[in-house]
Chain A
Amino acid sequence: SAVISQKPSRDICQRGTSLTIQCQVDSQVTMMFWYRQQPGQSLTLIATANQGSEATYESGFVIDKFPISRPNLTFSTLTVSNMSPEDSSIYLCSVFGDRATGELFFGEGSRLTVL
């Protein structure tokens, strides 16, 4: 299985600021996925990041709020812009664990608290 490293692992941010989360994978992958887990809730897909193309966002998520970069096949960033306390969540990067079955492998997540 892939090794996924996310930075930062946790951070405390001020309202109105932006934070960029980095995701590094130890192997080349075509697709990377960003999920959000709000406190006490389940996971929701934010967007799919393909190398060389614009990210595809799910309903309720927009590029202005969550810009994503995918400069190469092992790296992606997710920025949470103009943060509010409602953005306090765990943000998880994931890749296919088994492409044939849609199984995903998740990183440890980045826990953001917005004051």
Chain B
Amino acid sequence: AQSVTQLGSHVSVSEGALVLLRCNYSSSVPPYLFWYVQYPNQGLQLLLKYTTGATLVKGINGFEAEFKKSETSFHLTKPSAHMSDAAEYFCAVTESDSWGKLQFGAGTQVVVTP
């Protein structure tokens, strides 16, 4: 069975500061991992994904995440926060035997202060 834990339901960062959102997963098989962003009153948009290969993946809007198997983690980072990064971020995992069924974390609300 797969599961996702996001540490911190709310994160406040200053504009220009590092954004770090933590995600840990559990999976019985090699997982496929995703980060989605949800802006207010909108649907979900894919930021980035890890499937196989390079463990550091780059996504849209300057975000990147690193898959660390030994730590079962997939933390999301962005070197410098912009006001437009204010949104809710979801980490998700799926396995090859449950295609279409994404297991989402509880989400982290990011607030960016001037």
Contact = CB atoms under 8 A, between A and B. Distances in A.
Interface of A: 31, 33, 41-45, 48, 58, 92, 96-109, 111
Given A42-B90, A92-B43, A108-B43, A103 B100 contact: no
Contact of A103 (B41, B42, B46): B46
> Which one of B42, B94, B104, B106 has the highest number of Cβ atoms from chain A below 10 Å of its Cβ?
B104
A42 B44 contact: no
A108 B41 CA distance: 8
Contact of B106 (A41, A100, A107, A111): A41
Contacts of A41: 106-107
A92 B42 CA distance: 10
Chain B interface mostly? loop
A6 to B, nearest CB: 8
Between A31, A100, A102, the greatest number of chain B beta carbons within 10 A of the residue's beta carbon is seen for: A102
Interface residues of B, number: 22
Given A42-B104, A45-B102, A103 B34 contact: yes
B43 to A, nearest CB: 4
12 contacts: A45-B100, A48-B100, A48-B101, A102-B94, A102-B96, A102-B100, A103-B46, A103-B49, A104-B100, A106-B36, A108-B42, A111-B41
Interface in B51-66: 51
